[in-house]
Chain A
Amino acid sequence: MANEKEVVIDVKNLSVGFHVRGKKTNVIRNISFPVYRGETLAIVGESGSGKSVTTKTFTGMLDSNGFISGGSIIFDGLDLAKFKTNDDWLQIRGKRIATIFQDPMTSLNPLLTIGYQISEVLILHHGLSKKEAKEEAIKLLAKVRIPNPEERYNDYPFQYSGGMRQRVVIAIALACRPEVLICDEPTTALDVTVQAQIIALIKELQEEYKWTTIFITHDLGVVANVADRIAVMYAGQIVEYGTVEDVFYHPEHPYTWALLASLPQLGTKDEPLSFIVGNPPSFAGEIIGDAFAPRNEYAMNIDFVMEPPIFKISETHWAKTWLLSPNAPKVKKPKVIEELHLRMKGAATELKRQEGEDYE
């Protein structure tokens, strides 16, 4: 199935480092994954796992002390990892790959009207006149369901709620008409009911505009709702990659198990909530073996000395864990993972019931 799909961004052996106080740290460590056209790829993982840094390399938005230390990012025949100057990136940013950031409260310039901020993109990327841009911006505001868009065109961001601001940010992304839209935790700063609306809006617009979405989140509940494929990141590496069904129903990496087990929606009344013990490793020193080993209750001796290779599970699914080695002992997955189908069904029913109440 995967082979039939067109790869829009092909990341190969990408490594990213940062200069911190005179030292080099390696925060993305040799990752490879494809992004398929028209699909939604969710990148999940804890804070600091490298999700945002990975996607920042697609638009040249790494902080000034960051650098790509190896690998390639092939997008439409261009190797984005080789881009150096702002002029190079002007061909990509916005018009071909756009980004929606986490916090809508700070993503918009507080001193410029909403209308201006949408129009400037339309004028820049599509050469519209001021008047045409205004008309188009009002249409876009209507599209993202801002009520009375003609009147609200001249409003300032502080006159909008968080959810409405994120809609405006989406309208700006729409104005760019990108091929790829990176959503960097677009719902994290919003309350739960608004989160659902924003996700529904992104999905709806994706169907209409046929763009490819890269959805960064640490919320697996959101992932189940939006993604076609999932890349699970830990300590600067992708530890498991597969379709939603692969990762949710047949997860193979102990970190994926732990992440799924931590979903509060899957908890039951009589069980304490599950969490991952310990902290992710520091990037200051060299990471030896499997970075997850110290927190992994299934860790074997080899995990502490040698980095696991990629083990292919199916055409669409792979994981980086020694547990998949033919020589590894067979382990029983945690109970919550075994019961994931049933618990997710239960959680979905509960969510639907709550949504019904919210909309009443």
Chain B
Amino acid sequence: MASYLIGYTIIGVLVIFVVFSVLVKKRILFGNTVSVQKIFGHPLLHYSLRRIGSSLISIALAIIVTFFLLRLAYPAQATCLKLFAGNHVSEDLFKLRCDTWKEEMGFSGSVLQQLGTFFYNILPLPKNICRTDIVIGNGTFSYEIYSCRAFVINFGTIYNLPGFPDGGFVIDYMLPRMMTSFKVGIIATVLELGLGYPFGILMARYQNGIFDKIGKTYIMTIDAIPGVAYYYIWMAILCGLFALPRVYDPNNFLTWLPIILTMGFTGMSGIGLWVRRYMVDEFNADYVKFARSKGLEEGRIMRIHILRNAVVPLVRTFPSAVIGALMGTYYLENIYNVDGIGRAIIVANSSYNSSLLVAVIIVSALLSVISYLLGDIVTAMVDPRISFTS
């Protein structure tokens, strides 16, 4: 009950906030109060609201498409067979488990009803989900409600997945794995940026010099070799040559290093390439020549007039780099045996858990929407030419 109250209060406050902001912006409320206009009528706020609004429409459309694709790819009965038909289960038990599963997964009713249930479950509205499990006792079957939980978003349940209890909630599968991927990914992102920027700056600063040539060769190599092969090369170097442990252990930081270093060294090449490219453009900019003709020293020109301007187009990618770490990476998590979220989409597909598949798709869609929005906002903060007024 308390969770309902908190959930709906938050939603209510958000709705009131949006409606109030729109009315202030349209000067229906507080039209002449500068301080209120400044906060609730701020162009950045309204740009964000517009973007979120239009993104929600896109996400809703994506969800509808996903729903129908899943109904085609995972027909209920066939999926049931895949999930529950093994282990010499009797026909009655199979039917019972299958019906329960269909109910849980929203397969009951007409297609439109199913779509409605699908939306209700994933809309961020507080809901209490109680699920039943079948307890087999003395050759007879009985139903028993054994868990009820409050959810904001309900992605459904998972069956038949090794290492995870049958009927466990998707959210319980995803969250810890997202955290695992994020812990590794965020360190790798910092490393990527920390190596990529100086790498690109040095290449641009000494354009066509020896460092630039080595750098360009490295970037071309990474571009030319397929990702998987490249990851294995790094694994051979790090775990073979430098004898770092191959298998990831969450409690031993040393085992984190191979995946972090592989991600860092790979990612830095792309960042270096763009930093170099933007900086070389800036070197030839008229205002850099003018700055030089004003008598400014090269160090200052580099810091104030080149680097700053070259970084602006790249700032947009910062939020997606950070948020992207939440979704992990399939190949690397496989290679180093990290139980992260990167593997989830493949695991979901191979184990016929469409609920997990949907969850991964929706979460990654949401995260990319947030990344792009934050990217725009951060870019606007560093580039005065961008305004959010229509």
A interface residues with partner B (beta carbon < 8 Å): 59, 61, 86, 90, 92-95, 98-99, 101, 103, 106-112, 120-121, 124-125, 156, 158, 169, 172, 176
- Supposing A101-B289, A107-B290, A158-B385 touch, asked if A112 and B295 sit within 8 A by C-beta, the answer is no
A-B contact pairs, 18 of them (CB 8 A): A92-B295, A93-B295, A94-B294, A94-B296, A99-B290, A99-B293, A101-B289, A101-B290, A107-B290, A109-B287, A109-B305, A109-B309, A111-B308, A112-B304, A120-B296, A121-B295, A156-B384, A158-B384
B295:A124 contact, CB within 8 angstroms:
yes
Contacts of A112 in B (CB 8 A): 304-305
A86:B297 contact, CB within 8 angstroms:
yes
**Which residue in chain A gives the minimum CB-CB distance to B290?**
A107
Q: Roughly how many angstroms separate A158 CA and B385 CA in the complex, as a whole number?
A: 7
Nearest CB on B from A355, distance (A) = 30
Residue picked from A112, A125, A172, most chain B C-beta under 10 Å: A112
Instruction: Select one of B286, B297, B304, B309 contacting A106, CB under 8 A.
Output: B286
B385:A110 contact, CB within 8 angstroms:
yes
Interface size for B (C-beta < 8 A) is 22
Contacts of A108 in B (CB 8 A): 287, 290
B294:A93 contact, CB within 8 angstroms:
yes
B286:A93 contact, CB within 8 angstroms:
no
Q: A101-B286, A120-B304 are in contact. List 7 more A-B contacts (CB 8 A).
A: A61-B292, A94-B294, A94-B295, A108-B287, A110-B309, A156-B384, A158-B384
Q: Quick one: which of B254-308 are within 8 Å of A by CB?
A: 285-287, 289-298, 304-305, 308
Residues 350-390 of B, flagged 1 when their CB comes within 8 A of A and 0 if not, give 00000000000000000000000000000000111100000
Q: Roughly how many angstroms separate A92 CA and B294 CA in the complex, as a whole number?
A: 10
- Supposing A101-B286, A106-B285, A106-B287 touch, asked if A111 and B295 sit within 8 A by C-beta, the answer is no
Instruction: Select one of A59, A109, A110, A158 contacting B291, CB under 8 A.
Output: A109
**Which residue in chain B gives the minimum CB-CB distance to A97?**
B293
Nearest CB on A from B313, distance (A) = 11
Q: Is B93 an interface residue when CB atoms closer than 8 A count as contact? A: no
Q: Roughly how many angstroms separate A95 CA and B297 CA in the complex, as a whole number?
A: 12
Nearest CB on B from A237, distance (A) = 25
Contacts of B153 in A (CB 8 A): none
Q: Is B322 an interface residue when CB atoms closer than 8 A count as contact? A: no
Q: Quick one: which of B302-328 are within 8 Å of A by CB?
A: 304-305, 308-309, 312
Q: Roughly how many angstroms separate A86 CA and B309 CA in the complex, as a whole number?
A: 22
**Which residue in chain B gives the minimum CB-CB distance to A92?**
B295
Contacts of A59 in B (CB 8 A): 293
B292:A111 contact, CB within 8 angstroms:
no
Contacts of B385 in A (CB 8 A): 110-111, 156, 158
Residue picked from A86, A92, A111, A124, most chain B C-beta under 10 Å: A111
Residue picked from B285, B292, B295, B382, most chain A C-beta under 10 Å: B295
Nearest CB on B from A174, distance (A) = 12
B296:A107 contact, CB within 8 angstroms:
no
Q: Roughly how many angstroms separate A110 CA and B287 CA in the complex, as a whole number?
A: 8
Q: Roughly how many angstroms separate A8 CA and B159 CA in the complex, as a whole number?
A: 89
Contacts of B309 in A (CB 8 A): 109-111
Q: Roughly how many angstroms separate A121 CA and B297 CA in the complex, as a whole number?
A: 11
Instruction: Select one of B290, B297, B305 contacting A90, CB under 8 A.
Output: B297
Nearest CB on B from A98, distance (A) = 7
Q: Roughly how many angstroms separate A61 CA and B290 CA in the complex, as a whole number?
A: 10
A93:B312 contact, CB within 8 angstroms:
no
Contacts of B297 in A (CB 8 A): 86, 90
Q: Please list the 3 inter-chain residue pairs (A to B) with the smallest Cβ-Cβ separation, ordered nearest first.
A: A94-B295, A106-B286, A93-B295
B384:A169 contact, CB within 8 angstroms:
no
Nearest CB on B from A308, distance (A) = 35
